Structure 1
Amino acid sequence: MRKESDEEIDMNIDLAQSTGPSNVKIMVLLGEVHGMECRFWARETSTDWWDCIVLQVWDDSQWLRNFRLHKGTFMELCDLLSPALKHQNTRMRAALTVEKRVAIALWKLATPDRYRSVGNQFGVGKSTLGAAVIQVANAIKELLISRVVSLGNVQVIVDGFAAKGFPNCGGATDGTHIPILSPEHQATEYINRKGYFSKLLQALVEHKGRFTNMNVGWPRKVHDARIFRNFGLFKKLEEGTYFTDPKITIGDVEMPIVILGDPAYPLMPWLMKPYTGSLDRIQDLFNYRLSKCRMVVECAFGHLKAR
């Protein structure tokens, strides 16, 4: 098909304005006006990098370096998430495979790349990429969180903290900033003391730093103690239903299984926090042992953000 000259394009526009759309259609059919070439609503993109290189050529070291896990672990993850991620093909296009959705989400989460760059990498549009990230995140929340974040064997946890120096302890709790984009509503509520937008992740971890309970979503301006009191974990600990193992007796004091927090948390029969002010030798030793055991939650947050 020959290309139209600038004069012919201007003539076609003038005709459309002077004769109306119905007359222009008739003239196009008669060959007096050259019709503009129709374009499809979706641009053609290439998926060769994903289909032919990543899936077929990459070895485990390349998978680990780029996706932060081995290919076998990736495939296992896809199998676990597939009930929530399988989509039907439509007449307009084929649905993204579960593997590609998971890969897109992992790549976006593992790298600082912008949505446009990741979309070009995988051969998808920005909106498709954004939807895939949200879909995978929701699938992980629905299907995997309860399998990964759970209390586990309480006696093993208690023994682990006892070896570190604190008796009858079931976990350490704290909060950390999770950076977010500026929200549309009440944005100032999400600006933290360091000057960026964030939500608070509050978690309980065991002696090796594994998450056993977590809560996320509160604005960072809300105080840690208030978030904790509205945390489902607080109610279970208050009712004595979270740790079901019996209490122990130290000296003449009956001690339940406790968790450890920093000075921002309230002192409870089941929550220990450091002494403040002028300390004697016993109080100073108590603070040292509590701090030593509570460091596991700080390390857990560090590992999470490093991933």
Structure 2
Amino acid sequence: MARLARGKIRYERYEEFLQMMTAALLCAVVGEEEVFLVLAVVAMQRLRAYEQLVEPTTHAGMYPTHNFMEVIGGFDFRELFRFEKPDFILLLEVQELPAELEIHRGGFGTSRVPMEIALGLTLWRLACPTTLLRDRLFWGIGEAMICEIFNLTITAIYERWGHLVGQLQHEAILPKIDIFCAAIEGRGAPLDRCWAFIDGTIRAISRPRVMQRLWYNGWKRKHALKYQAVDTPDGIIRQLWGPMLGRRHDVALVGESGLLQYLEQWFNDAAGTPYYIYGDPAYQLSPWLQTPFKGVLTQDQQNFNSDMSACRVTVEWGFGKIMALWPYVDYAKKQHVALSAYGLGKQYSVAGLLTNCHSCLYGNSTSKFFGVRPPTLRSYLAGEG
């Protein structure tokens, strides 16, 4: 993390503590003792979090203690694992994962790894596509064991929470859909019932040994997998469907995912008027999926396309945040089709899920652009946000 960014975060956190302590002292002056005690406790918690963030790293080698929560400093912890220490503990708590991972070693018994270590190692690998040798030197765990821990943790997270990105959660979206529509219209969009944006993305993979034509994308000129995302104005990726072969068109992803049928079933108001999402010209027009005007355009149609494009670009920010937080899933040399033990699709889905968790805790560019706050982490994982 750059020194300027560290200094900015340091200033913001200390400013929060000073503001809270000032409010507590003012309450003490006017005789509000109960409010003073509450604010003072909160202020001391902010101070402790600030001190924890700025303390230096004392780590000289992870093995054999594995006590990375204590020896890594606050800024370094956030850069290595993408979450601050209190939020890492919260993430570990709310994800409801097993306390330990059991790794069966054939005739050599069973190894048990605490979930704290497993989640930390998984975030570490996703945040930086480093070599297994460096992983072993840092964690003090053998390369084969690191791979097994990583794969089992990805699977555990996907099996428990994969539905949050695998399919639209209408129970969480419908109560907020009018807020989403108003936020998009408030940014100059001419559509008043548009609540989200859809797009596809191409993720490069290592060149397969066999059937290379299946994976080759002639437009990008590389072997790839394709994914489809639906993003709302709060910056949450509501669907991250895939993967599909790199040679397939975005329209094929819409058809295979069953998205239009799901929208037709759930996304209408009481009078039957549809709420719709908006995509680029590659998609086909439907009552639940709007697209730009095509062909020879009038000035009004050009203005419509320009205004909607200025809002639709936010879906690209969602893909960009996944790549910025978890470069592992964008590193083609690590993406081996049919060789990854638990599938590249699970890895990318978990990366999208963790990106949503990060947005719940720290916000994102899309939510700031539209002025819609993301849900809390607990409400998102509970399917309420």
TM-score range, shorter chain: 0.7 to 0.9
Match of 2:88 in 1: 74
Q: How far 1:264 sits from its partner (Å)?
A: 0.8
Alignment of 1:154-303 (within 5 A): 154-164=177-187, 165=189, 166-183=191-208, 186-192=211-217, 193-237=219-263, 240-246=264-270, 256-303=274-321
Match of 2:63 in 1: 48
Match of 1:58 in 2: 72
SS in 1 for 2:66: helix
What are structure 1's unaligned runs of at least 5 residues? 1-45, 249-254
Pair 1:296–1:56, CA change in 2 (3 A) = same
Q: Distance in 2 between matches of 1:71 and 1:196?
A: 39
Alignment of 1:104-123 (within 5 A): 104-123=121-140
TM-score of the two chains, using structure 2 as the length reference: 0.60
Match of 2:141 in 1: 124
Q: How far 1:185 sits from its partner (Å)?
A: 5.0
Which is worse superposed, 196-205 or 175-184? 175-184
Q: Distance in 2 between matches of 1:138 and 1:48?
A: 26
The answer on whether the counterparts of 1:179 and 1:197 sit within 8 Å (CA) in structure 2 is yes
Q: Deviations over 1:250-270 (max 9, x none)?
A: xxxxx5211111111111122
Pair 1:206–1:141, CA change in 2 (3 A) = same
Deviation beyond 6 Å, 4+ runs, structure 1: none
Match of 2:113 in 1: 96
Q: Distance in 2 between matches of 1:194 and 1:215?
A: 20
**Could you tell me which amino acid in structure 1 is paired with residue 222 of structure 2?**
Y
Aligned length: 253
Q: How far 1:276 sits from its partner (Å)?
A: 1.9
The answer on whether the counterparts of 1:224 and 1:265 sit within 8 Å (CA) in structure 2 is yes
Q: Deviations over 1:32-91 (max 9, x none)?
A: xxxxxxxxxxxxxx8527624x22222321210111111122222223445346235877
Q: How far 1:147 sits from its partner (Å)?
A: 4.9
* Structure having the higher Rg: 1
SS in 1 for 2:222: coil
With a CA cutoff of 8 Å and minimum separation of 6, indicate the structure with the bigger relative contact order.
2
The answer on whether the counterparts of 1:49 and 1:121 sit within 8 Å (CA) in structure 2 is no
SS in 1 for 2:307: helix
RMSD: 2.5
Q: Deviations over 1:139-198 (max 9, x none)?
A: 222223445774532121111112122310021100112233345653332233334332
Match of 2:161 in 1: 144
Match of 1:305 in 2: 323
Pair 1:279–1:244, CA change in 2 (3 A) = closer
Q: How far 1:127 sits from its partner (Å)?
A: 1.9
Pair 1:244–1:49, CA change in 2 (3 A) = farther
SS in 2 for 1:202: strand
More helix by share: 2
Q: Distance in 2 between matches of 1:191 and 1:89?
A: 36
Which is worse superposed, 274-283 or 176-185? 176-185
Q: How far 1:106 sits from its partner (Å)?
A: 0.8
Q: Distance in 1 between matches of 2:314 and 2:103?
A: 47
**Could you tell me which amino acid in structure 1 is paired with residue 227 of structure 2?**
L
Q: Deviations over 1:256-299 (max 9, x none)?
A: 21111111111112211111222112211221222122111111
The answer on whether the counterparts of 1:174 and 1:261 sit within 8 Å (CA) in structure 2 is yes
What are structure 2's unaligned runs of at least 5 residues? 1-60, 326-385
Q: How far 1:228 sits from its partner (Å)?
A: 0.8
The answer on whether the counterparts of 1:154 and 1:243 sit within 8 Å (CA) in structure 2 is no
Q: Distance in 1 between matches of 2:92 and 2:235?
A: 26
